[in-house]
Homo-oligomer: A and B are copies of this chain.
Amino acid sequence: MALLKAAIIGGGHIADQNHIPALKKLADHVQIIAICGRDIIKAKALAEKYDIPQAFDNTEDLYKICDLDLVINCTPNNLHYEYTMQALKNGCHVFCEKPPAMTAAEAHEMDALAKEKSKVLAYNFQRRQTSEYLLLKKYFQQGNLGEVYHIKANYLRRRGIPGWGNFTNKTIQGGGALIDLGVHILDLAMGIIGYQAPEKIVANIHDFIGRTGGKGLKGQWDPEKFDVEDACFAHLTFPGNKSIALSCSFALNQKEEEIINLEVFGSKAGANLKPFSIQTEIAGELADITFPHLADLDTQLKNTEAFIHAVLGKESNIATAEEGAILQEIIEKIYLSAQQ
Contacts and interface: CB of A to CB of B under 8 A. Distances in A.
Interface in A86-131: 131
A304 to B, nearest CB: 23
Interface residues of A, number: 63
A209 B267 contact: yes
A329 interface: no
A263 B267 contact: no
Contacts of A254: 263, 265, 270, 279
B202 A237 contact: yes
A273 to B, nearest CB: 13
A285 interface: yes
Contact of A204 (B204, B243, B290): B243
Contacts of A286: 158-159, 215, 217, 291-293
A267 B212 contact: yes
A41 interface: no
A333 to B, nearest CB: 12
A253 interface: yes
A267 B208 contact: yes
Contacts of A272: 255
Contacts of A284: 138, 215
Contacts of A214: 281
Nearest to A159: B286
B253 A279 contact: yes
Interface in A262-280: 263, 265-270, 272, 277, 279-280
A1 interface: no
A285 B215 contact: yes
A231 to B, nearest CB: 7
A149 B215 contact: no
Given A149-B231, A253-B266, 13 more contacts: A138-B283, A204-B243, A217-B286, A217-B293, A231-B265, A234-B235, A235-B235, A245-B245, A253-B280, A255-B277, A255-B279, A286-B292, A288-B289
